[in-house]
C-alpha cells in the first residue's frame, strides 16, 4: 500500500497552493481558474520564488502549441475533420472555447493565460516544462462515447444556454469558485447529474495528470492545474494507478448495441420493401419507395434551407437523405456539411471571429463556418424525422 502524502499546506503558501510531500519529493499544486488574472499572477510568483526542478502543466501538446504559438481556427482542416466524422467533437470544443473566451473578455484575461505564464516563466528560468494532460481529442471522444444520448442533449443545451448568458462575473466570483468546499460540491453535483462525463473529464484526468506528474524528473515540482482537479490529484498522487493508463489513453469502440441498431434499421426498411414487392406487387412497393424518398428528402432539404445553405447543398440534402438513412456509414448531415464547405468555404476573417459570432443567434447565420455546422445539424435532424415517418408508413403497409 502506498504511503499517503503529506498535503498540509505550509503557513507561508498561498491558499491556492498545496504542498504534497511524496517519497522525499515536493510537489506544489497550484489550483487555478483558467480565466483569472489573479491565477496568472500567482503562477508567475510561485515559480519565481520556488525555482522548481520542473513545471508540470495541465496541457497536452496540441493545446500547448495553440496557446504558445497563437494558432488560429483558420488552420483547421475542415475536410479532414469531416472525413474523420469529428464535426460534433469540434462543435463542442468551439462551444467550450467560446464560453471561456467570453468570460476572459469580461475579465480582461485570455483563457489559459496562467498556463502560458507558467510555460514562459519556466523558459526564462531554464526550467523544464512537462505537458501532463491527456490529448484533448481522446478526452472529448471518450466523453462523447461514454455519455448516453439524452445526457448529450442536456450537455449541449447547457453549453448553448451558457453561450447566450449575459450575466457578469468578477474576480471575486472566480475567487469564490476556487474555494475548495464549493468546488467539491460542484464536482459532486456533476457526478450526480452527468456521472459518465465527470468520470472522463475529471476522474480519469486526475489519474492521468497524477501519473504524468510523478513521472516528471525532479525532487521539487510545481504543477499548474485547474482548481477542480486539486482534491482528486491529492488522492491520485498517493496511489499507484499506472495500470489504468493504457485504458484511459485510448478511445473506446462504439457500443455493439448501437452498431447493431444502426444496421438493423436499414435492414428492416429494405426487407419491408422487398416483402411489399413480393406480396403486393412492384407498383405498391414503388409507391412506398417514393414515400420514403419524399419523407426523408423534404425534411432534410428544409433543414438545409433553414441553415441558409447554398442552393446546391439544399438539393444535395434532398438527394442524400433517403440514401444515407439506409446506411450507417455516413449521415446526411456530413454530406450537406461537406457540400456547404465546398460551395461556401469560410473566409479567414470568419475563422478568426468564430468564437465571438457564436455568442449571438444571428452570428450563426452570418459566419460561414458556423453555417456549415447548421448545415450539418439541421438536415441531420430532418433526415432523422423522415426516417421515422417513412419507416412507420412502410411498416404499416406490411402489417
Q: Do 313 and 183 share a domain, yes or no?
A: no
Residues of the chain with pLDDT under 50: 1-11, 71, 73-75, 180-186
* Domain end among 206, 230, 248: 248
Single out the residue in 203, 232, 248 at which a domain terminates: 248
| 241 and 267 assigned to the same domain | no
What is the pLDDT, as a whole number, of residue 159? 60
Q: What is the pLDDT of residues 242-252, one digit of tens each?
A: 999 999 998 87
- Are 77 and 214 members of one domain? yes
**Dihedral sign, CA of 347, 349, 351, 355?**
negative
CA distance 78 to 82: 6
Predicted pLDDT at 73: 47
Name the 3-class secondary structure at 32. Answer: strand
Q: Of the candidates 248, 268, 287, which is a domain's last residue?
A: 248
What global pTM score does this model have?
A: 0.67
Do 28 and 82 have their domain in common?
Answer: yes
Give the number of C-alpha atoms closer than 13 A to the C-alpha of residue 279, restricted to the C-beta side: 9
Could you report the per-residue pLDDT of 43-97, keeping only the tens digit for each? 999 999 999 999 999 988 877 877 766 545 444 567 677 777 667 777 767 766 6
Residues 116 and 238 in one domain: yes
- Within a domain: 334: yes
234 shares a domain with 261? no
Cα distances (angstroms) measured from residue 89 to each of 43, 85, 96? 31, 9, 11
Residue 4: inside a domain, yes or no? no
Residue 216 belongs to some domain of the structure: yes
Q: What per-residue confidence (pLDDT) applies to 30?
A: 93
CA distance 368 to 351: 9
Q: Looking at the domain assignment, is residue 1 inside a domain?
A: no
44 contacts 222 by C-beta, under 8 angstroms:
no
Q: Residue 380's pLDDT is what?
A: 92
* 9 is a domain residue: no
326 and 229: one domain? Answer: no
- Please indicate, yes or no, whether residues 265 and 301 belong to a single structural domain of this protein: yes
What is the rounded CA–CA span in Å between residue 91 and residue 89?
5
Query: Based on the domain organization, do 21 and 85 belong to the same domain?
Result: yes
In a domain, 371, yes or no: yes
- Asked whether residue 12 is domain-assigned, the answer is no
Whether residues 135 and 56 share a domain: the answer is yes
Q: Which domain holds residue 158?
A: 17-248
Q: What's the chain's average pLDDT?
A: 81
Q: 272 with 315, same domain?
A: yes
Comparing C-alpha atoms, which of 16, 129, 5, 128 is closest to residue 67? 129
Residue 229, domain member (yes or no):
yes
Query: Domain tally for the chain?
Result: 2
Same domain for 199 and 305, yes or no, is no
CA 317 – CA 332 distance, rounded (Å): 7
Amino acid at each position: 500500500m502506498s504511503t499517503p502524502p503529506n498535503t498540509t499546506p505550509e503557513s507561508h503558501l498561498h491558499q491556492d497552493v498545496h504542498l504534497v510531500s511524496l517519497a522525499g519529493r515536493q510537489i506544489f499544486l497550484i489550483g487555478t481558474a483558467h480565466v483569472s488574472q489573479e491565477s496568472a499572477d500567482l503562477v508567475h510568483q510561485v515559480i519565481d520564488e520556488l525555482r522548481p526542478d520542473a513545471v508540470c502543466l495541465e496541457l497536452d501538446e496540441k493545446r500547448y502549441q495553440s496557446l504558445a504559438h497563437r494558432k488560429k481556427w483558420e488552420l483547421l482542416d475542415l475536410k479532414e475533420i469531416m472525413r474523420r466524422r469529428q464535426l460534433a467533437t469540434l462543435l463542442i470544443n468551439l462551444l467550450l472555447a467560446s464560453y471561456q473566451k467570453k468570460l476572459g473578455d469580461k475579465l480582461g484575461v485570455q483563457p489559459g493565460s496562467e498556463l502560458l505564464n507558467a510555460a514562459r516563466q519556466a523558459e526564462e528560468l531554464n526550467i523544464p516544462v512537462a505537458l501532463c494532460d491527456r490529448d484533448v481529442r481522446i478526452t472529448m471522444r471518450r466523453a462523447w462515447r461514454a455519455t448516453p444520448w439524452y445526457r448529450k442533449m442536456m450537455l449541449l443545451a447547457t453549453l448553448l444556454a451558457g453561450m447566450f448568458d449575459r450575466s457578469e462575473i468578477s474576480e471575486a466570483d472566480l475567487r469564490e469558485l476556487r474555494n475548495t468546499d464549493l468546488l467539491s460540491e460542484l464536482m459532486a453535483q456533476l457526478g450526480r447529474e452527468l456521472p459518465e462525463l465527470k468520470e472522463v473529464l475529471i476522474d480519469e484526468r486526475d489519474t492521468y495528470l497524477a501519473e504524468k506528474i510523478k513521472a516528471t524528473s525532479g525532487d521539487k515540482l510545481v504543477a499548474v492545474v485547474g482548481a477542480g482537479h486539486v482534491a482528486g490529484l491529492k488522492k491520485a498522487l498517493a496511489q499507484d494507478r499506472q495500470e489504468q493508463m493504457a485504458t484511459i489513453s485510448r478511445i473506446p469502440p462504439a457500443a455493439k448495441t448501437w452498431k447493431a441498431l444502426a444496421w438493423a434499421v436499414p435492414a428492416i426498411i429494405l426487407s419491408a420493401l422487398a416483402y411489399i414487392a413480393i406480396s403486393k406487387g412492384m407498383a405498391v412497393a414503388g409507391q412506398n419507395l417514393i414515400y420514403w424518398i419524399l419523407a426523408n428528402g423534404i425534411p432534410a432539404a428544409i433543414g438545409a434551407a433553414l441553415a441558409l445553405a447554398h442552393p446546391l447543398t439544399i438539393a444535395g440534402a434532398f438527394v442524400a437523405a433517403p440514401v444515407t438513412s439506409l446506411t450507417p456509414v455516413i449521415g446526411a448531415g456530413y454530406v450537406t456539411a461537406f457540400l456547404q464547405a465546398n460551395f461556401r468555404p469560410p473566409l479567414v476573417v470568419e475563422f478568426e471571429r468564430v468564437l465571438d459570432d457564436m455568442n449571438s443567434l444571428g452570428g450563426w447565420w452570418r459566419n460561414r463556418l458556423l453555417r456549415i455546422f447548421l448545415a450539418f445539424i439541421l438536415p441531420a435532424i430532418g433526415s432523422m424525422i423522415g426516417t421515422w415517418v417513412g419507416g412507420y408508413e412502410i411498416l404499416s403497409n406490411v402489417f
